Amino acid sequence: MSETSTHKHPAPVVRLDDLTLTEQTHGGYFSAAMGAIAAPLGATHLGARLVEVPPGKAAWPFHSHHANDEMFIFLRGTGELRFGTARYSVASGMVAVCPAGGAETAHQLIATGDEPLRYIAVSSMREPDVMEYPDSGKVTVFAGAAPGGDKTRRRVAASFRKGDAVDYWDGENG
């Protein structure tokens, strides 16, 4: 049954197979195809996207969010969740929650099976957010749009190594 709406809001439903997926790759290890779910349906404080990661790949580096919780709903395939210092097997029908925090909640999903790992990533979309990358010692600051949000609206998106940190008063002449 198809419903039509006279409202100016988009229809509140979408078929996952109808999403247009955009590929993102970096080097030989990072690869994912993803399609936005929440924002096109009108959500402003909830992020959700469909993600497909090819076998043997990861979508993003091992990272944590200081402002955003994330949840992953696994639809197809098998993988491994790096979470803090532990590793967990994940598969279709499972859900993982990665709360905001530091290195203890850092996370990364790796497709380990013979088919792509397909999941829905859900985020609280708070901004500004600070993300840490324990493997590389980086920190990233996002302001103006949450990390999974509209990149064209970001006022600040800067990454730096923790080792480059300066004193709070550095460069301030008073």
* Vertex 157 angle, CA 150 and 83, to 5°: 85
Say if residue 61 is preceded by a cis peptide, omega within 30 of 0. Answer: no
* pLDDT higher than threshold 70 for residue 100: yes
Q: Which domains does the chain have, with CATH numbers?
A: 16-126 (2.60.120.10)
**Residue 6 φ/ψ region, left for φ over 0, alpha for ψ in the -120 to 50 degree band, beta for the rest:** alpha
How sure is the predictor about 1, in pLDDT bands with cuts at 50, 70 and 90? very low
Q: Residue 31, exposed/middle/buried by CB under 10 A (0-12, 13-18, 19+)?
A: buried
pLDDT value for 98? 98
Q: What is the pLDDT of residue 147?
A: 67
State the pLDDT at residue 173.
86
Partnered with residue 51 across adjacent β-strands are 34, 119
pLDDT of residue 174: 76
Average pLDDT score over residue span 76-89:
98
pLDDT recorded at residue 79: 98
Residue % of the chain over a pLDDT of 90: 66
- Tens digits of per-residue pLDDT, 102-157? 999 999 999 999 999 999 999 998 989 999 999 999 998 888 776 666 666 556 67
Instruction: From 109, 77, 115, select the one nearest 96 (Cα to Cα).
Output: 109
Range 137-141, long-range pairs (CB < 8 A, 24+ positions): 137/161, 137/162, 137/163, 138/162
